[in-house]
Amino acid sequence: MTNSLSPLRQYAIVTANYWAFTLTDGALRMLVVFHFHSLGYSTLEIALLFVFYELFGVLTNLYGGWLGGRFGLRLTLWAGTLLQVAALLLLIPVEESWPRWWSVAYVMAAQAISGSPRI
């Protein structure tokens, strides 16, 4: 199968996708920080919420090259982008009325999904 897109157009698409990822990644982090700050969490408690996110980012970097080589960069780029959007959508139902442990566990799981697109 031949690709009908010019190299410049391919580069522009990939660049735009990574810019969008950077924007949504920053949005996710800021939503988490502001939400838990408004709930009265300490700075250390908020920082610990990001441990799961960063751990999954490290695991993704370990396996991302292999996945990209095996299945192609186009597939991994789109999969990562869709996972990032899904993680942002998962944060919509978070409520202040949720028990503290459930809120933390839920947000950490959403961030773990979000940590996976770094390929």
pTM over 0.85: no
Quick: pLDDT tens for 13-42.
888 888 888 887 888 888 888 988 988 888
Can you give the residue ranges of every domain in the chain? 50-119
SS3 16: helix
| Count of positions (residues) in the chain | 119
The token pair at 32 is: 């988490």
Contacts of residue 86, Cβ cutoff 8 Å, sequence gap at least 6: 113
If DSSP codes are grouped into helix, strand and coil, which group holds residue 102?
A: helix
- Show the tokens assigned to 27: 């949005």
The predicted pLDDT at position 117 comes to 47
